[in-house]
Amino acid sequence: MRDTTLAYIAGFLDGDGSVMFQLKPRSDYAYGFQIKVTLAFYQKKSNRFILEWLKDNLKVGTVRDRNDGMSEYDIEGFMPARQVLALLEPYVILKREQVETALRLIREITSQPNPSPEEFLDWCAKVESFQALNYTKKGKHTLASVQAFLAGKGYLDPRND
């Protein structure tokens, strides 16, 4: 992809995009929660074509229409997010801290496929810290809720609380 195209997409992320980490309850996950990463780009439905253009260039993700007159292009998952963020990192200005922090966190999480409960809690704390970098309300599920779940399941040594 040309540098000018990457720079345009990075500017789009800076202005009408977001990098998000979320804690999602998942009964099929070892510790009851999933750490989810999403890159999202937003436009009015009348400009959906530009989101389709982004998808055609990045070759990953999905575009959908929301019920509020907006369209959204989402890239979910550690590998797709890492791939796109690595391409855009040299060009991002406003969201540089989010991109650099997200890349570090993705590398850390993907390098350890079987974390201890304490390592998982450390990642959850980093997710919560990451959320503070964005202009958004606090996530529904927090480090405290994950910690309470793990303690309730007996995963945590009470002497280390």
Residues with a catalytic annotation lie at 15-16
Structure tokens at 43: 């436009």
Proportion of the chain in helix, strand, coil states, percent, rounded to 5: 50, 20, 30
d(CA 14, CA 19): 10
Q: What are phi and psi of 68, to 5 degrees?
A: -105, 20
Place of tokens 């202005």: 15
Cα(84)–Cα(33) distance, rounded to whole angstroms? Answer: 25
Burial class (CB in 10 A: 0-12, 13-18, 19+), 73: buried
Spatial distance between the Cα atoms of 161 and 153, rounded to a whole number of angstroms: 14
Greatest CA separation for the chain? 57
